Amino acid sequence: MSSDASGRALVSAAERCGIEPRFWTMFGQEQPASPETLKAILGALGVRTGSEQTVADDVQRREREEWVHILTPAIVTTYANGQLTIPVTFPEAELGTDARFTVTLESGGVLKATLPLGSGVVEERKTFEDSWARVRVALPLDVPLGYHRLAIDAGWRHAETNLIVAPASAWQPDELKRGGKMSGFAVALYGLRSERNWGFGDFTDLQRLCKWAARKLGVSFIALNPLHAIPNRRPYNTSPYLPTSIFFKNYLYLDVEAIDEWKQSRRAQWCFRRPAAQSELEALRDAETVEYERVAAFKTRFLKLLFAEFLRRHWSKNTARAQEFRQFRESAGNLLTRFGLYCALNEYLHERDLNLWVWTDWPAEYRDPESAATKKFAAKHWRSILFHEWAAWQTDQQLAEAQRAAVDAGLSIGLYHDLALATDRFGADIWAHRDFFAHGCRVGSPPDDFSPQGQDWGFPPPNTLRHRADGYRMFRESIRRTAQHGGALRIDHVMRFFRLYWIPDGMDATKGAYVHDRAEDLVRILALESARSRILMVGEDLGTVEPYIREMLGRFGILSYRLFYFERNGDGSYRRADEYPRQALVSSSTHDLPTLAGFWTGSDIEARKAAGVLDEKAYDEQWTGRRRDKERMLEALLDAGLLPRGYTAKADFDDTLTHAILGFLASTPSMIMLVNQEDLTREPHQQNLPGTTSQYPNWGRKMRFTVEQLESDRQAREWTSQLCEQLLESGRAEATTGAARS
């Protein structure tokens, strides 16, 4: 085979496996993937890659194996025109056979129907040793939305699969469907200050904030950073967007003093009153930034005392409280069992060797959750495992109470959660469920003007075949467990459902390629979880987004995510407020971008220079671009009539500009407006400075005011409640006017 022919065979094999052999950069340049990149990614997908011909042969073999199965590993479908249709693959010569369909519902019921396969519509044909046809069959059954099992018997052939029936659209509140608008207040929960917390914002702080926001701001929800479990170690392991587990929450958000056993444990009370404990508590509260390790050590000490009290009072006696915990463990199943096992192992091994920080460095016998050594450890250290499961239960209970308090206070949505894109390659999820991840590649992004060499995010991509074979159980659990105890969910980097940029191991971020996922399946499951739990879904679709992605998300009722900074015309000018889409959430900034005050004063540019991320040339270029963007911003606000005539911008960011920008966002037709805490209190520093670790206090900045100051301090009231009341009232007025116009 010639080199051209072998190259074409490799490209063809890549395309059949969902790999884009080329893509267009944001600079408008075509970027082909090298043969080495294609072969490496194919290998990560499980294709044999000895030679180009081997690749082609193996892809064809895999395709044949899929075709000669009557049912695909999972069928995700939606009623259309009152019919529920499914694909069935059968030898063409046997299409006249009557087939018996049995649907076992997740509720336990059974539905049955018999019909000839020939009654379906043939969608595609393939010829191997014989001819096969893929037929679209309409089931004459009233199958409810949900996760079911489908069996087919036709002649001597039998097959079963997962049948997932999803709605045509995600859930949205009636208020939004009627043309109304909602608003929210975004906070970094870990950074909430209060006079009573232990140096880390907790769920009791959150309850108080919800009551204040409902009373003073009139918002519909509080938006939170991802609450996923993280290692709580600075500077590399504090990002809520790189969790050790996406299924469970960070126990540092617990209010230890609100746990039932607190009042019952004399030992905990005695230790807490000791001068050393009180001194540490005061230091944690007064620290300028969040002291993750110290807070973790302090809280863990007392949590273990309370757990011992729980064992003595409840577990050994199987009280009602113990039975509630058992129910939690049973409902969480293997996810919780392996999470607790990982946490216990990690704690045990690190205590014995302080150089063991990640599971890939553990003794080999503990790197496998199913190994004999791991099982022996689990049997011997069951109390340690149970402690971590108990902490997860307590976290779940307090978060549920926070959601109840939010709704009771008048927040119609309550809490708005955030699902991270990634899971740490050294964390619990990959140790416990590694066959659900593709190995040999990392996820990142191609070169752009922000990162000319691309970005390497360092975590492995999903193994789509494994997820599909399991009926997408892990995927739906990640959605369900993150959105639980809330009314809205933000999906970080929602483009993941469609494609991700894979970087082969041993190569840099300029050598990657895009790999497609089964987007329609994933979006339908997202809609199903939304409808079941009445969760409003928002897809973070920032960056380069192909039109078909936003079209599909819009069709399924998933809100777009639009930022004031990024909504520009081709010449760089800002779009008018009335040009924003209706089905969207609008905001000024995110955790990775400058605050409004920071944008205006250039605090982000100065921070990047101080961190060594920018050289002098890049520093000067960014300031030149910033001055131009500020002029364009003023033009947009003046054209919108939101700044007084003759307004002269000051070097510092003032109240007039704050009112104008947030008023601009409130005047868009978009369904939801989100105000960030830093923009309410005119804080110049953002939560995360991309490209830095120890050079910047990422994920550690505390709110300027304590919760108590928000409630009582005069300046805090001036900078928050008065501002929000004005701009949110303008948003409500605009929504009323828009509804009248329509």
pLDDT at 738 over 50: no
The residue type found at 172 is: Q
pLDDT value for 544: 79
**At 111, which helix (H) or strand (E)?**
strand 110-116
Beta-sheet pairing, 488-491 with 414-419: parallel
pLDDT at 103 over 70: yes
pLDDT value for 736: 41
pLDDT at 283 over 50: yes
Residues 6 or more apart in contact with residue 527 via CB below 8 angstroms: 166, 167, 168, 169, 170, 537, 556, 557, 558
Q: Cα(36)–Cα(116) distance, rounded to whole angstroms?
A: 48
The CA-atom distances, in angstroms, between 38 and each of 3, 16, 51, 458, 515 are 15, 12, 12, 19, 10
The residue type found at 423 is: T
pLDDT category at 23 given cuts 50, 70, 90 is confident
In this structure, how many other beta carbons lie within 10 angstroms of the beta carbon of residue 572? Answer: 10
pLDDT at 266 over 50: yes
> What are phi and psi for residue 616, nearest 5 degrees?
-60, -40
**For 467-474, what is the mean pLDDT?**
97
Give the tens place of pLDDT for each residue, 340-353: 999 999 999 999 99
pLDDT at 565 over 50: yes
Q: What is the DSSP string of 523-577?
A: HHHHHHHHHHHT-EEEE---SS--HHHHHHHHHTTPBEEEETTT-B-TTSPBPPG
Q: What is the DSSP string of 591-646?
A: TTS--HHHHHHTHHHHHHHHTT-S-HHHHHHHHHHHHHHHHHHHHHHHHTT-S-TT
pLDDT category at 723 given cuts 50, 70, 90 is low
What sign has the CA pseudo-torsion 692, 694, 699, 704?
negative
Domain 83-166, CATH number (from 2.60.40, 1.10.3710, 1.10.150, 3.30.300): 2.60.40
Q: Cα(345)–Cα(374) distance, rounded to whole angstroms?
A: 9
pLDDT value for 235: 85
Place of tokens 């933000």: 490
Give the tens place of pLDDT for each residue, 355-368: 999 999 999 999 99
Place of tokens 């967007």: 241
Residues 6 or more apart in contact with residue 643 via CB below 8 angstroms: 634, 637, 656, 657, 660
Q: Cα(567)–Cα(116) distance, rounded to whole angstroms?
A: 54
pLDDT category at 484 given cuts 50, 70, 90 is very high
- Of all residues in the chain, what percent carry a pLDDT higher than 70? 95
Give the tens place of pLDDT for each residue, 513-527: 999 999 999 999 999
500 and 443 in contact (C-beta within 8 Å)? yes
pLDDT value for 740: 36
E strand residue ranges, 379-526:
414-419, 441-445, 455-456, 488-491, 499-504, 513-516
Closest CA to 594 of 666, 672, 661, 673: 661
pLDDT value for 2: 47
Calculated CA dihedral for residues 327, 329, 330, 333, nearest 10 degrees: 160
pLDDT at 26 over 70: no
Q: What is the DSSP string of 489-524?
A: EEETTGGGGTEEEEEETTS-GGG-EEEE--HHHHHH
pLDDT value for 180: 94
User: Collapsing DSSP states into helix, strand and coil, what is residue 435?
Assistant: helix
Calculated CA dihedral for residues 640, 645, 646, 651, nearest 10 degrees: -40
pLDDT value for 722: 52
pLDDT value for 742: 33
Q: Cα(184)–Cα(65) distance, rounded to whole angstroms?
A: 50
Give the tens place of pLDDT for each residue, 602-626: 999 999 999 998 899 999 999 999 9
Give the tens place of pLDDT for each residue, 214-231: 988 889 999 999 999 999
- Identify the weakest region by mean pLDDT among 237-241, 472-476, 657-661: 657-661
pLDDT at 119 over 60: yes
Residues 6 or more apart in contact with residue 110 via CB below 8 angstroms: 102, 103, 104
User: Collapsing DSSP states into helix, strand and coil, what is residue 184?
Assistant: strand
Q: Cα(570)–Cα(576) distance, rounded to whole angstroms?
A: 13
Q: Cα(143)–Cα(110) distance, rounded to whole angstroms?
A: 10
User: In terms of pLDDT, which residue wins out, 647 or 315?
Assistant: 315
Q: How high is the mean pLDDT of the chain?
A: 92
pLDDT category at 252 given cuts 50, 70, 90 is very high
pLDDT value for 720: 60
pLDDT at 477 over 60: yes
Closest CA to 419 of 562, 678, 675, 223: 223
pLDDT category at 55 given cuts 50, 70, 90 is confident
Q: Cα(138)–Cα(160) distance, rounded to whole angstroms?
A: 17
In the chain, where are the structural domains located? 3-66, 83-166, 224-412
User: In terms of pLDDT, which residue wins out, 719 or 695?
Assistant: 695
Q: Cα(351)–Cα(490) distance, rounded to whole angstroms?
A: 37
pLDDT at 310 over 50: yes
pLDDT value for 264: 94
**For 242-250, what is the mean pLDDT?**
97
**For 439-460, what is the mean pLDDT?**
85
Place of tokens 């126990």: 251
Place of tokens 């395709």: 63
Percent helix, strand and coil across the chain, each rounded to 5?
45, 20, 35
pLDDT at 448 over 80: no
Give the tens place of pLDDT for each residue, 371-402: 999 999 999 999 999 999 999 999 999 999 99
pLDDT value for 540: 97
Place of tokens 């029936």: 165
